[in-house]
Amino acid sequence: MKQSEIDLSIELKLAELLARQAGEATLKLQHLGVARYKDNHEGPVTEGDLKAEKIIIGGIHEAFPEDLIISEESFISGTEVPKAHRIWFIDPIDGTKSYVSGGEDYAIMIGLAIDGRPKLGVIFAPATQTLWRAQNDNAERIEPNGKIVKLNVRDKKLGPNGFRLAVSHHASSPFTHFLNDNLPVAKVIRKSSVGIKTVLVADGQADAYLSSGRNIKLWDTCGPAAILIGAGGIFSSLQSQELQFSGNIQHGIEIMAATPHAASLLQKKIPEVIKQWNLLKRTKTP
């Protein structure tokens, strides 16, 4: 650990414990399905979401009562995220659509931003009992049998056939098809959870996750970004802008999660790809 970095081992241990407890609750409640749709019409919320959120918020507040906590199900739409030294971002169930359908492609996500930068992340996949975690520059995967695997994609190279792209499972995005036509793509990996798509990159199973959506929230990215950055990867906008973790709850920009090698290649290609994509959208607009 670098001398300037803060030891977050206590916070990490707590986040891991809470993620596992919340994950166990979601498994028990998954059969109940949709509880209701959110008032802002952004998707379903289930009893599993609400129970997981209660577990995580309660545990963090008890241990760190001075910290700010931003969680998806309790966040008031339209409000701003204030600047604060320490902000926890929680997505109780990332991939709720998969969860509702009885699928396994969902995750519990906890992130901690310190002075606006993601420094701690925990992502737990209850269905497979796999957990990814990171603090500062140390990222790991913990397998169901307890084995700990160090994550490091700093020197990961692309294969000879091009990019392995992680993309949305539920949406057939025109942008995804456009990327397939304009980049050398060896493989497309479809997942629902933003967190799972990101840790596939941190795990070396994918080279990049790209999203053209501008409505991705801070709770979608804080934990995943901490893990990918801890593994030596890049988490930024498609235009390589650093992501902000205060102000608007939506990033409002396209997202790129990639290995350094993939990011360097994408940074050369993306400006022209985005230019062509925007031109195509304008020509198709009536």
pLDDT digits (tens, 9 = 90+) for 137-175: 899 999 999 999 999 999 999 999 999 999 887 555 566
Q: Which of 55-59, 243-247, 273-277 shows the lowest mean pLDDT across its residues?
A: 273-277
How close are the terminal C-alpha atoms of the chain, in Å?
Answer: 55
pLDDT digits (tens, 9 = 90+) for 66-118: 999 999 888 877 788 888 999 999 999 998 888 888 888 999 999 999 999 99
**Where does the pLDDT of residue 284 fall: very low under 50, low under 70, confident under 90, or very high at 90 and above?**
low
The mean pLDDT of the chain is 88
CA 201 to each of CA 179, 184, 216, 231: distance values in angstroms, whole numbers, following the listed order:
17, 17, 18, 9
Q: Are 104 and 128 a contacting pair, CB within 8 Å?
A: yes
Set out the domains of the chain in order of their start, with CATH numbers. Answer: 9-150 (3.30.540.10), 163-284 (3.40.190.80)
pLDDT digits (tens, 9 = 90+) for 136-146: 889 999 999 99
Closest CA to 224 of 203, 207, 249, 253: 203
Instruction: Report the pLDDT value the prediction gives residue 184, as an integer from 0 to 100.
Output: 86
Instruction: Report the pLDDT value the prediction gives residue 4, as an integer from 0 to 100.
Output: 59
Q: What pTM value is reported for the model?
A: 0.90
**Residue of 1 and 114 predicted with greater confidence:** 114
**Residue of 230 and 46 predicted with greater confidence:** 230
